[in-house]
């Protein structure tokens, strides 16, 4: 049986903490499907405003995507400097050209102290954070990326904007899904 880990203080969260909808993504920065979902999530955030809280957890498929793990570490290392979301967004916007140098350039562009970042990348706490996210995803039933959860329940529906919006509208209207 799968077990979803509730959103907690260690999570990366954007939006109203008491929003009626919590959209959580287990994502891989190099996954083309996550790359396609990225602007859709942004659009949903704009559309729903205070009614939607977005949470991101790492789920790097390192066997398939050679830069996914380093991208996750770069985002987490940037989080130590308060720049998680800036780096998260820039990584997705540069997804097709990822390399170690591109990741460092992305961090620098976001205002991250790259020397501190490079030092932090060696910390076991970053590795543990990414591993914990990944294991949490496995335990919750994630078997590919993006893995979406809406209010703690796995969402296996279409994540194009209109179908996703229709599903979220049903939740806002009080329908059990």
Question: How far is Cα 155 from Cα 129, in angstroms, rounded to an integer?
Answer: 24
Q: Which residues of the chain have pLDDT under 70?
A: 1, 177
Cα–Cα distances in Å, from 24 out to 121, 124, 151, 165?
25, 25, 8, 15
Q: What pLDDT score was predicted for residue 2?
A: 73
pLDDT tens readout for residues 16-68:
999 999 999 999 999 999 999 999 999 999 999 999 999 999 999 999 999 99
- Torsions phi, psi of 47, nearest 5? -60, -45
- Domain 12-172 grouped into CATH 3.40.30.10: yes
Strands of 12-15's sheet in order across: 12-15, 52-58, 21-27, 147-150, 153-155
Assigned token pair, 98 = 């990822």
Q: What pLDDT score was predicted for residue 122?
A: 87
């Amino acid at each position: 049986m799968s077990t979803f880990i509730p959103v907690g203080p260690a999570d990366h969260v954007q939006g109203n903490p008491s929003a009626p909808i919590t959209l959580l993504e287990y994502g891989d920065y190099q996954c083309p499907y996550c790359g396609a979902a990225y602007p859709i999530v942004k659009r949903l955030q704009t559309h729903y405003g205070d009614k939607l809280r977005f949470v991101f957890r790492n789920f790097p498929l390192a066997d398939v995507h050679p830069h996914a793990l380093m991208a996750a570490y770069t985002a987490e290392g940037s989080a130590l400097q308060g720049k998680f979301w800036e780096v998260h967004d820039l990584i997705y916007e540069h997804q097709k050209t990822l390399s170690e140098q591109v990741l460092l350039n992305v961090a620098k562009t976001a205002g991250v102290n790259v020397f501190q970042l490079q030092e932090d990348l060696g910390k076991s706490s970053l590795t543990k954070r990414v591993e914990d996210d990944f294991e949490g995803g496995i335990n919750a039933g994630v078997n590919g990326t993006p893995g979406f959860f809406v209010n703690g329940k796995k969402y296996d529906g279409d994540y194009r904007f209109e179908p996703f919006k229709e599903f979220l509208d049903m939740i806002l209207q009080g329908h059990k899904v």
